[in-house]
Structure 1
Amino acid sequence: MLLKLILPEEDQILSAFKWTEENLGHVHVLVNDAAFVSEELLTEGNTEIWKRSFDVNVVAPCFTTREAVKIIRKNDIKGHIIHINSVAGHKVSPVPKMNVYAATKHAITALSETLRQELNALGSKIRVTSVSPGLVVSEMTVLSKDISEERKKLFEVRPILQAEDIADGVVYVLSTPEHVQVLELTIKPVGEPH
Structure 2
Amino acid sequence: MERYAGRVALVTGANSGIGAATARALLQKGLKVVGLDKRIDMIKAQELKDAPGTLYPLQGDVSSEESILCAFKWIKENLGGVDVLINSAGVCGESLPTTGQTAEWKRILDVNVLGLSICTREAVQSMLDRGVDDGFIIHICSISSHIMPFDPLISMYFASKHAVKTLLEGLRKDLVARNSKIRCGQISPGLVKTEIFNTLQKHSTEALENMRLPMMESEDMADAVIYMLSQPPRVQVCDIILRPTGDLFC
Root-mean-square deviation (CA, aligned residues, Å) is 1.4
Shift of 1:21: 1.6
Q: What do residues 119-148 of structure 1 show as CA deviations (whole Å, max 9, x unaligned)? A: 00010000010111111111112xx1x332
Secondary structure of 1:98's counterpart equals: helix
Answer yes or no: is 1:125 the counterpart of 2:158: no
Q: Does 1:3 align with 2:36?
A: yes
Q: Which residue of 2 aligns with 1:148?
A: 201
- Cα distance per residue 1:132-190 (max 9 Å; x no partner): 1111111112xx1x332564333331111111110010011000001110011111111
Partner of 1:16: 71
Alignment TM-score, normalising by the size of structure 2: 0.73
- The one-letter code sitting in structure 2 at the alignment partner of 1:159 is P
**For the residues of structure 2 that align with 1:13 and 1:153, how far apart are their CA atoms?**
34
1:22-61 superposed matches below 5 A = 22-61=77-116
Shift of 1:3: 2.1
Q: CA 1:135–1:104 in structure 2 vs 1: closer, same or farther (change >3 Å)? A: same
User: CA–CA distance in 1 between the matches of 2:182 and 2:136?
Assistant: 5
1:72 matched residue in structure 2: 127
The CA distance in 1 between the partners of 2:182 and 2:203, in whole Å, is 42
Correspondent of 1:173 among 214, 228, 232: 228
Identity across the alignment (%): 41
Change (3 A) 1:164 1:108: same
**TM-score under structure 1 length normalisation:** 0.93
Structure 2 residue aligned with 1:104: 160
Distance 2:122 2:208 in 1: 38
The change in CA–CA distance for 1:96 and 1:190 in structure 2 (over 3 A counts) is: farther
Q: Unaligned 5+ residue runs, structure 1?
A: none
Structure 2 CA distance, aligned partners of 1:179 and 1:148? 45
Q: Which runs of 5+ in 2 are unaligned?
A: 1-32, 38-59
Cα displacement (A) at 1:112: 0.3
Is the Cα–Cα contact under 8 Å of residues 95 and 156 in structure 2 kept in the other structure?
Answer: no
Give how far 1:7 is off: 2.3
Moved over 2 A (4+): 149-156
CA–CA distance in structure 2, aligned partners of residues 86 and 51 of structure 1: 19
Query: Which residue matches 1:182?
Result: 237
